[in-house]
Amino acid sequence: MSSYSPDYLKRLNDYPDNFARFITRVPEVPVSTDRSAVIAALTPTHEAVLREGGISPKLLRRAQQIHGNKVALVGDIGCSYPVEGVDALFCGGVADCCLGIYVADCAAVWIYDPVTGCRGLAHSGKLGTQQNIVGELLGSMHKILGVKPLDCIAVISPCIRPPHYEVDIPTRIHEELEEAGLLRENIIDSGLDTAADLDTFYSYRMEKGRTGRMLALFGRLSPHD
């Protein structure tokens, strides 16, 4: 599991309650243009990573991901998942649920407030970034849970970057996070390009849709762990 807990997530995982993971390419799983079939094939691996962290797969909360900027508050007593019409999720600091976002070139953005323990996770591709999904997420976390952006830490996952893509998604996300109130030193960019390393990552563009999905996870470890 250490391979799914990379250095760029260390700042989050240094907090003992946090479970932040990025599940990359699973080589033995065949890929295709059928997203649902590939995700079904990847699910046993994804659930194994959750269980290794002491988290029941039943606690996984996902978003529909429609490349928009809507967000949803989730918790331990759930609605129907994935939550329709949203691209970001957040939860309170005592929630045991685990947030999950699929990506295959788009960025996943983890947001953590060490003061309240609140967690957020966003899907920010070209369109979501244009619509400031991370700003919408932070605004909702502030309004509903009292989170102060100045206290927060954010991490930007591996995603497609120039020269493989005409839009510099992570740079714009970084700017949006600062505009929302995060301190520059509290924003960590993985710096990794999904299109440049197909042995490690899935890339929708480079594989022309015949690809899998990586899974960003952000949960809370059991106090018994």
| Inside any domain, residue 222 | no
Q: How confident is the model at residue 80 (pLDDT cuts 50, 70, 90)?
A: low
Residue 225 in any domain: the answer is no
Domain assignment of residue 97, yes or no: yes
Domain that holds residue 79: 2-216
DSSP 52-91: HTT--GGGEEEB---SS--EEE--SS--SSSBTT-SEEEE
Would you say residue 223 lies in a domain? Answer: no
pLDDT-based confidence at residue 79 (cuts at 50, 70, 90): low
For residue 224, being part of any structural domain is answered with no
pLDDT of 184 reads 98
195-202: Cβ within 8 A, 24+ apart: 195/105, 195/160, 195/161, 195/164, 195/165, 196/161, 196/164, 198/25, 199/25, 200/24, 200/25, 201/24, 201/25, 201/158, 202/24, 202/25, 202/31, 202/104, 202/105
Mean residue pLDDT of the chain comes to 94
Q: How many domains does the chain have?
A: 1
- Residues above pLDDT 70, as percent of the chain: 96
In a domain, 106, yes or no: yes
Which residue(s) pair with 103 in the sheet? 214
Q: Which of 12-26, 67-81, 121-135, 209-223 has the lowest mean pLDDT?
A: 67-81
Please give the torsion angle defined by the CA atoms of residues 54, 40, 79 and 215, in that order, rounded to the nearest 10 degrees.
Answer: 60
- Strand ordering across the sheet containing 119-124: 71-73, 88-91, 119-124, 107-112, 153-156, 187-189
Q: How far is it, in rounded angstroms, from Cα 225 to Cα 222?
A: 5
How far lies 220's CA from each of 8, 23, 27, 106, 134, in Å?
A: 18, 17, 28, 24, 21
Q: How does pLDDT run across 6-65, given as a tens digit for each residue?
A: 999 999 999 999 999 999 999 999 998 999 999 999 999 999 999 999 999 999 999 999
* Residue-wise pLDDT tens digits, 97-144: 999 999 999 999 999 999 999 999 999 999 999 999 999 999 999 999
132: domain CATH number? Answer: 3.60.140.10
> What's CA 185's distance to the chain center, in Å?
20
- Residue 173 pLDDT > 70: yes
Per-residue model confidence (pLDDT) at position 159: 98
